[in-house]
Amino acid sequence: MNLEDIEVEARRREMIDADEKRNAERYMSYAALAGLLAFPLLIIGSSYFGLDKASSLLSDIAGIAYISVSAILGSYMGFNTLSELQKRPKKD
């Protein structure tokens, strides 16, 4: 292997790692969003099945859950935007 082959292989591996990182971040955001959307359904479902204590406990932690999920989704979108801005060529 010459130096050019090593550089091409290193670049290929960097691209694969970056792609896997983006996929992992996207899946994490999808899971957080699904939890955010399922939370009210859990409260309604537990109340429907007569689990009033569970419904009350879920309602008590709803505010914290929404804030933390919003922080996860916001940081994902923010860091994605930041990385895209860094990739752009600079205008002189």
DSSP letter string, 37-51: HHHHHHHHHHHHTT-
pLDDT in tens, 11-68: 999 999 888 988 888 888 888 888 888 888 888 888 888 888 888 888 888 888 888 8
- On whether residue 15 sits in a domain, the answer given is yes
- On whether residue 41 sits in a domain, the answer given is yes
Backbone dihedral region for residue 2 (phi beyond 0: left; psi -120 to 50: alpha; all else: beta): beta
Q: Which domain holds residue 19?
A: 3-83
The token pair that represents 10 in the structure block: 């290193």
Q: How many structural domains comprise the chain?
A: 1
Q: Looking at the whole model, is its pTM more than 0.75?
A: no
- On whether residue 14 sits in a domain, the answer given is yes
Q: How many residues does the chain have?
A: 92
- On whether residue 32 sits in a domain, the answer given is yes
- On whether residue 13 sits in a domain, the answer given is yes
